[in-house]
Structure 1
Amino acid sequence: MCLSYLIKEINEYREKKKLVFFIGAGVSKISEYPSWAELVLSMADEIGYDSYIIDKDGKPRLSSEEFLKIPQMYYNKKGKDEYLKKVKSQLDVKREPNDIHKLIMKLNPYHLLTTNYDDLLEQTANIFSVNYSVINDDSKVSDAQTQRYILKVHGDFEKDNFVLKEKDYLDYEENYKLIDNVMKTIIASNMVVFIGYQLNDYNIKLILNWVQNVQKDSFIEPVFIYTDPEPLDEVSIQYYEKRRLRIICANEICQNGSYYDRYKAVLDKIITYKDTPNDITAESAINYIYNKLLPLDEIMYLRAKDFVGLFDGYKVNKTNVISNNGNKECIFEKLFDAYRHKDNLLPETIEKINYIIKRINNSGIIGWSLENETYSDVTHLNINNEWFYGNYVEIKNHLTQYGDSIKDLYNKAYDLCMLGHINESYNLYINLLDKCKKQQKWIYYYLVQANLKFLNMAIEQIKRKSSGFVGVIYFGQELNLFSEELLKNVELVQPFSDLPARIQRYDFLKILSSNNYYSEDIAKLYVENYEIAKDITNNSVQIIGPASYDYSEITMIDAIKFTYDNKLIFSLFSEHKNFIKITMATYLKGKYARMSIDCDETNHIKERKFEIDFYDILLIIENYKLSEFVVLEKDVDLKMFEINESEIRNFEEYIMKMMSYYRENFSGRLNNDETIMYIMIKEKIDVMCYLGNYFIKNKEVIFKLVEFMLFALPLKGFDYNIRLICLDKIVINNNNVLDIEIIKIIEKFLFEKVKFCIEHSNRRLLENWKDTIKNYSEWINYYDNEYKSDILSDFCSVKEYSKENKEFLSNLNLILKDEAIIK
């Protein structure tokens, strides 16, 4: 069997968390632990047994049978007490773990099996802070605190319960039933590597016989590390391979030295294994990259650091460009050479290349820095999520078009949630779990569980806004929006650590079950925020080249695409929003400070302009509350940023679409799902209206937005003073000219409110509205002091009003004709 293949296979099982080491006396001997042979020979001398063979060097050689027979004879002759005293006097001694123990632990075996009696493995596990349950007796099996074991199959001296003499072996399955079952289960389902044994060891023979009798062809063939100085001949290798034992001969790696040197050479070779093609050709590079990416086909988008983490020896810089980290031969260079000339390749190779390029385009990678050039022919798609763009009508229409594939059902469950149909979404996710399990779609299975966790968070968040006193404040009554069954059952069903090992190898997925998804990134951002604030104070803003805030923006975009493209409900929650807000504040402040530097001919600094685009606007709308954006506005003047006409048109279309959706869905009495949806989008509608007054130029859109703000939006979260600020921004954006159409809209608003207040006249109603009426009248007069309202003048003149009503109507005086002024 090829050495490199065996080492590759060991590492594959290591990644799957199915690697087990079975450790014999040879490893403990390096720590100068007394050997079994020394004990047995000492027993033989005491009882006068001398029938063993003497080799050519005059040393006694015990057979496998004698290793068991002599301790039995000693026990029979001396009795139990003398036997225990003899064994413990020689073997129950303290020693320190050696480097071989530590190298084994570096491979992070899931279980450790041993026939040794010492505690060297336990000591080593403590050094590496790995929590194994030590099982040295049947009574310990049911008390195991962890799922990873140090299984001492021959017991130890803790309870004077150990296997050494012949009868112990003969009665083993009876006296150690549970340990025997655990051992067989582990061997049957894991890759076992034997180290520290001789090939003729009695224990090896027993295990191989059991494996052959019980497991037949279904078990994972174990590996034996052979460290004797004499090379193993081909006939012997074939003999053991026929017995289903594969052998790594240490002398293929280390021809000289001690047993320690040979153990170390083999383990070092396994530890330093790199999963890259030995001979890098275009074909091997393409196959290697393709096989790495294919198992992640269910992930729609990979962040740059997750993508590059799949390939040994490569890294990404701060701009998400891959470098080969000094490798002379680069798999990506081979890939791109083939891509440029793919017309000359076989169809199946072209298909693999196209798949790879598609996955690259759906990742955070933006290029490759190779030895001779930088390759950046990557066409990144926009965020692939209709929710992000407010395409709710399209999402709703698409619900009926989904099929019954796992991918379709996963997307449908997400869409249902994002439309407010949380009860239906929950039930679909639950049904998907069983379907994913049956089809072994484990990544979808985990993503579904992650979304169930996020769904639980969404339910708690919406309950806080709709129940109890808060519900009465916002909706006039306490609302019960979710079924009782759903409230009982929502939870994360299975943690990441319980998933199949081949999924657990992708560590980046683990963060989805964490409550600190962005903790590392946010810590860096706080440092960058501090540095930017300090630079602004000291007037030392970076002028030349990319600044740290540029890199933060790249990280943010990568994280956003991972969340949205993979349809993760996580985008709704404060941790995600806080990360976006902190990042945006960081790079907007940095860019604004750079644009604010005085530029003239004497300081040789060129004026610098930065752009803001539709995506920046959408990110603010999606992640900021209005009060939070007002705080940002104090530090950053968005009018300083340039925005091109196409980006403005995109934003104007978005505003028209959102206003239309809001009017059509939230104008009447709302059912439960509509109420949930209203809660989910109300805050971003507020921010959209506020931002609209910064950027929109189309007169029709401006007029419709003003009308929407005054007539469609409820008061909560967007009071009439804020709406006046928005109107100010519109006028400022229009060179301080107040358009007559806007006056007419405000006039209509004032008429409706005044008419309502007079017709339903009571002191509290008049008191509540008088300041708003006065402020809007003054606002019109401030921008156009010649304007007088016909409709309001007529209303005030039509009849004689009570003193209280007259006082209220007098707030309109600045925009009334002379004959209608209330005195």
Structure 2
Amino acid sequence: MHLKNVYIKNIRQANEEDRLAIFVGSGVSKSSDTDYISLPSWNDLIDELKSELAITENLDYLKLAQLHYLEFGEQKYNKTLKKYFPEDIAPSSLHRTILKLNPHVIITTNWDCIIENAIEQEGHLYDTICTDNDLVKSTSHNKFIKIHGDFKNHNIVFKEDDYINYSRNFPLIENYIKSIFSTHTVLFLGYSYNDINLKHITKWIQSHSKSVPPMYLVSFLTDKSQESYLRNHGITTLVVDSENYSINDIKSLKGRSALTQSFLTSIINDDSAAFTHDDQEVISFFYDRLKHLKQQNSVSHNQIKRAITNCGLLYDTDGLGVFELFKSNGTLTTDYSETIRIIHEKFLNILIPLERSSPEEKEEFYRKNPKFNDIFFILSLANIKGVALPDEHHLGKTRYFVNYKIDSSESLELKDREHISFSKCECESNDFVKLLSSESYESYRDGEYELAFKKNSEIILACKRHRIYSVLLIALFNKNSILWKLKHSLFSDQESKFEKEFEVDLQDEFFKFPRAEIKKNQVLYDFLSLNSVHQKAYECSKKILELTNTVKMIRAGGVSFNNNADEPASTHTNLLMFALKNHIMIDHYAPYNAVMRDFVKISILRQSVKNIVKLNQYEIYSAIQFYSSKELKSELSTFFKRKDSTQPYLEISDEHTQWIISTILPKFTDLLIQDRSLRNNYETGFENCVRILALIDLSETIISKVISEFSRLIYSPSTTIGIYEAINDFLAHQHSLFNRDIDTDILIAVLNTLIDKITFKKAHAWDHHAILRGSISNLYGYIQVAKGKYTDVERIRRLLSELKTYPPEEQRNFSRSLLYSVFNISNSTVKNMIKRFILRIISKQNSKEINNWEFELWSIAAGFKDFKLDSIMKFNSYLEEFRDGRIFSSQLYTLKELTKHLIDNKKINELEDVDKELQHLIDCYERRPNRSLI
């Protein structure tokens, strides 16, 4: 790297680390000269003093000023000098550029007010320091220090006494400047080699500090002797010429000001590599901008684009991106920089011949250029498969330099799968921090929040100690996530233990980072603060609306073109893996979950005009992880029925289906069986997994495996209504969508599991509720459709024996649900056993409770009892308590359904009057305001 660029890099780094001080000389003030106002040079001031003193010989400047003061007094002295410095002179663009650089400290020997005016006009946060008292009162981090005072404070430093008494008049400012020279890189602007102030500064440095950080002086002419003199005082001269800045006239004041401004702009824009044709510097430029991302396990597309700038991504059908570097005559963007784009062209000029070289030549190049390898490694962390090359003979197809650090999309999917399989990911890293991060994350996912908090606290300490800022930012975010679980989760028993732990103010902590780290980690902070997540949510909402309208248009016969159709899928994968691989505990933040759901919606919408909608593994994971069971059921409703030929099918590749069957479904089953606590989220995961499988055309072998998992879970104590309903829907959709023949032996085995659970007193309330409310009714229905016969006499005998111990009401309920369902699919022997049991219950009915009347009507409808006219009198007697309208029972609706069924199907017309009265009672109830059920 050229030596000048090393110096520029040092200045830039010092500024990024908040260690840059800029000394501003009179040359900078001269940049504000106009045709009407001109600030004086040193010679102008000296000539004025000599003229008033009538002195012709050359005297020391300080002595000359002292003589004028002694001869004419303070008032005349100040008036003579002040007339050259009007207060209303406007700042130049050079002043604004200095402030745009935003150095920690700006120091000037000038007396004018130009920089103060620029600070006020541009709204920069600098405290102006002219006296020691100003320094004491200063609260701003950034300071503008007028070390030679100004006219407003009547403390200008010019004459001999001022320099002699400086330590007494400005003791605090002097000590502060000493500290600046001891800790900051100093850049001198607007000083000539012969500037009297520069000479005094160098002497001051020499007398007050023996070891200082780098100091640089910007000059426009080469003078070896003067450069040696300054070097002896620790100041390196940077000769800024016109060759690299396209400025021809460097002799004029305007030309020198423009050169200085261009030089500062190159520091702000990090353009140093644009001024060389050295390939190593171009590679270093890219590496320096990306190297901080090596700390992460995964990198977002936005991080890459923000780090490099003037770039974009092209998306392919394989879900991987191609990195595009914008050239000077290319895409216009808000961050347009000519010099950055020149660097891009130079980088592409490295890639083009390298792409055409032999494998041996490439290998040799990679070996000699470790930074080049690191660049493509970092791109691989964002799943970027290459860098787009100029399109010479590949019209319509992107030609790109292949990222040799990345595997094929198939291999990447396989590697990613361990992160989305709802199982523990083993961390093989030797990096202590990464290992801790993985352990903390796994503890968090397992619900071991106290252990997760402990390990995360260790991460925070380690990151602060080693200054790993990106991982620190994630750990601070994760601390809040874990604390939320510990303190606010309904099922947490750790609230009192952690009540004194306070959540982190992420913004405050972030802005305590060094300036350079704030810049590098801005994209990560935007993600963790949910700013970019909300932005992505807005973009997804727009996309969903756009796709909805497009689908309507296409179905109406229109045509649509989308050149960026693959972007949502690629962005979805990138953001999902970015969070998972970096162990970001963002799962309970609603905006992030909503965005992940929106990506699934977009995929379904985008493909819905086709006959087949295919979900990739990342969409499958998001559907299982981020949807509630109810939400996913609604989302997938478009696949439930075959209305017409335009109705889409849901399809998942055989590989992904096998992954769900062999890994995810058994994992959820195991988790549910092992962890019976209410705080787990495994129930939703299991249900969503089953709802997806329900809509896929599965083979008999796979269905057998699925139902085997059902049987395992049903026999456990972990079943819920939601699980039963999901299983019920699975059976319904497999039959209605695919007419799938399921081996009745497998279905009967599940039924036997259910029966045994009741028989051996292992059934809990949810099991009873599911059986009695029909939440598993499709199990019997599928057996009946498949013409299966239930023949297990001994199992039914044990079941009936157990049910005999139940209260009469429960016996009636089980008779109407489980027993009647089994009755309809049984052989004659089992049917007779069930019939005898039900008839025994019927014969014992004496109560006038509504359940008895309901059961009697059902027994008539089911054919277990004949209708008798005296039943009508019983019903009339029963309805008496409801006729005055003061009370109502929801079971009247059930009685109405039964009487209607008996009239329509059994032709029992004698019940018509009862049916009408039931309808009347229901109508009266529904017309009542503020009705409630009793």
Using the size of structure 1 for normalisation, the TM-score is: 0.81
CA-to-partner distance for each residue in 1:43-94, whole Å, 9 max, x for gaps? 8379x5233557xxxxxxx7442465256436xx535x66666666654621
TM-superposed CA distance for 1:271, in Å, is 1.6
Name the SS for the 2:218 alignment partner: strand
TM-superposed CA distance for 1:2, in Å, is 5.6
Aligned residues of 2:157 and 2:163 also touching (Cα < 8 A): yes
Q: 1:582 to 1:312 in 2, by over 3 A?
A: closer
Q: Which deviates more from structure 2 when the two are superposed, residues 290-299 or residues 361-370?
A: 290-299
Which residue of the other structure, out of 701, 706, 713, is the alignment partner of 2:710?
706
* CA–CA separation in structure 2 for the residues paired with 1:52 and 1:365: 74
The one-letter code of the counterpart of 1:612 is L
1:360 aligns with 2:379: yes
Q: Which deviates more from structure 2 when the two are superposed, residues 13-22 or residues 235-244?
A: 13-22
Aligned residues of 1:14 and 1:109 also touching (Cα < 8 A): yes
CA-to-partner distance for each residue in 1:770-818, whole Å, 9 max, x for gaps? 6742415753454444655754576447859764244323323243225
The one-letter code of the counterpart of 1:735 is N
2:909 aligned partner:
none
1:602 aligned partner:
none
Which residue of the other structure, out of 491, 495, 512, is the alignment partner of 2:509?
495
Q: Which deviates more from structure 2 when the two are superposed, residues 725-734 or residues 345-354?
A: 345-354
The one-letter code of the counterpart of 2:501 is K
TM-superposed CA distance for 1:488, in Å, is 1.4
* CA–CA separation in structure 1 for the residues paired with 2:223 and 2:66: 30
CA-to-partner distance for each residue in 1:680-734, whole Å, 9 max, x for gaps? 5554344223334334641342113323554547577826445432432344466
Aligned residues of 2:129 and 2:146 also touching (Cα < 8 A): yes
1:573 aligns with 2:586: no
Which residue of the other structure, out of 725, 736, 739, is the alignment partner of 1:735?
739
Aligned residues of 1:69 and 1:166 also touching (Cα < 8 A): yes
Q: Matches of residues 663-812 of structure 1 in structure 2 within 5 Å? A: 663=672, 665-667=674-676, 678-679=679-680, 681-695=682-696, 697=699, 698-707=702-711, 710-712=714-716, 714=718, 718=722, 720-732=724-736, 735-737=739-741, 739-740=743-744, 741-749=746-754, 752-753=757-758, 769=768, 772-776=771-775, 778-785=777-784, 790=793, 791-792=795-796, 795-796=799-800, 799=804, 803-812=808-817
Name the SS for the 1:131 alignment partner: coil
Aligned residues of 2:189 and 2:217 also touching (Cα < 8 A): yes
Which residue of the other structure, out of 352, 368, 372, is the alignment partner of 1:349?
368
Name the SS for the 2:631 alignment partner: helix
1:421 aligns with 2:448: yes
1:815 aligns with 2:822: yes
Which residue of the other structure, out of 614, 619, 639, is the alignment partner of 2:622?
619
The one-letter code of the counterpart of 2:552 is T
1:633 aligns with 2:633: no
* CA–CA separation in structure 2 for the residues paired with 1:436 and 1:629: 40
2:54 aligned partner:
50
Aligned residues of 1:693 and 1:729 also touching (Cα < 8 A): yes
1:199 aligns with 2:182: no
* CA–CA separation in structure 1 for the residues paired with 2:720 and 2:173: 67
The one-letter code of the counterpart of 2:295 is E
CA-to-partner distance for each residue in 1:382-436, whole Å, 9 max, x for gaps? 45584532223x64xx7xx886733333333333333333322322333333434
1:451 aligns with 2:488: no
* CA–CA separation in structure 2 for the residues paired with 1:68 and 1:419: 79
TM-superposed CA distance for 1:299, in Å, is 2.2
* CA–CA separation in structure 1 for the residues paired with 2:407 and 2:436: 28
TM-superposed CA distance for 1:586, in Å, is 1.8
CA RMSD, Structure 1 to Structure 2 (Å): 4.0
1:390 aligned partner:
422
Q: Matches of residues 203-218 of structure 1 in structure 2 within 5 Å? A: 203-218=197-212
Aligned residues of 2:193 and 2:226 also touching (Cα < 8 A): no
Aligned residues of 2:747 and 2:779 also touching (Cα < 8 A): no
Name the SS for the 1:192 alignment partner: strand
Higher relative contact order (CA 8 A, sep 6+): 1
1:307 aligned partner:
304
2:229 aligned partner:
239
* CA–CA separation in structure 2 for the residues paired with 1:781 and 1:435: 60
Name the SS for the 2:89 alignment partner: coil
Name the SS for the 2:504 alignment partner: coil
* CA–CA separation in structure 2 for the residues paired with 1:449 and 1:12: 21
Q: Matches of residues 528-607 of structure 1 in structure 2 within 5 Å? A: 528-539=543-554, 546-571=562-587, 573-592=589-608, 594-595=609-610
1:185 aligns with 2:213: no
* CA–CA separation in structure 2 for the residues paired with 1:121 and 1:792: 96
The one-letter code of the counterpart of 1:265 is L
The one-letter code of the counterpart of 1:707 is S
Q: Which deviates more from structure 2 when the two are superposed, residues 233-242 or residues 312-321?
A: 312-321
The one-letter code of the counterpart of 1:535 is T
Name the SS for the 1:147 alignment partner: coil
Query: Quick check: which has more Rg, 1 or 2?
Result: 2
* CA–CA separation in structure 2 for the residues paired with 1:580 and 1:661: 26
Q: Matches of residues 513-532 of structure 1 in structure 2 within 5 Å? A: 514-532=529-547
The one-letter code of the counterpart of 2:543 is E
Using the size of structure 2 for normalisation, the TM-score is: 0.72
Name the SS for the 2:323 alignment partner: strand
Q: Which ranges in structure 1 are unaligned for 5 or more consecutive residues? A: 55-61, 472-478, 597-608
Aligned residues of 2:483 and 2:503 also touching (Cα < 8 A): no
Name the SS for the 1:260 alignment partner: helix
Name the SS for the 2:531 alignment partner: coil
1:104 aligns with 2:94: no
* CA–CA separation in structure 1 for the residues paired with 2:624 and 2:457: 31
Q: 1:683 to 1:285 in 2, by over 3 A?
A: same
TM-superposed CA distance for 1:649, in Å, is 0.7
TM-superposed CA distance for 1:532, in Å, is 1.2
* CA–CA separation in structure 2 for the residues paired with 1:248 and 1:802: 98
* CA–CA separation in structure 1 for the residues paired with 2:527 and 2:56: 63
2:494 aligned partner:
481
CA-to-partner distance for each residue in 1:160-179, whole Å, 9 max, x for gaps? 45444443333333333333
Q: 1:532 to 1:295 in 2, by over 3 A?
A: closer
Q: Which ranges in structure 2 are unaligned for 5 or more consecutive residues? A: 328-343, 393-398, 641-646, 824-830, 843-934
Q: Which deviates more from structure 2 when the two are superposed, residues 279-288 or residues 23-32?
A: 279-288
* CA–CA separation in structure 2 for the residues paired with 1:744 and 1:775: 18
TM-superposed CA distance for 1:662, in Å, is 0.8
Q: 1:150 to 1:530 in 2, by over 3 A?
A: farther
Aligned residues of 1:656 and 1:701 also touching (Cα < 8 A): no
* CA–CA separation in structure 1 for the residues paired with 2:359 and 2:453: 47
* CA–CA separation in structure 1 for the residues paired with 2:595 and 2:138: 41
CA-to-partner distance for each residue in 1:657-690, whole Å, 9 max, x for gaps? 41353156314xx6xxxx8xx5355543442233
Overall identity of the aligned pairs, in %: 16
Aligned residues of 1:686 and 1:718 also touching (Cα < 8 A): yes
1:374 aligns with 2:400: yes
* CA–CA separation in structure 2 for the residues paired with 1:3 and 1:134: 32
* CA–CA separation in structure 1 for the residues paired with 2:46 and 2:144: 29
1:465 aligned partner:
489
The one-letter code of the counterpart of 2:710 is V
TM-superposed CA distance for 1:648, in Å, is 0.9
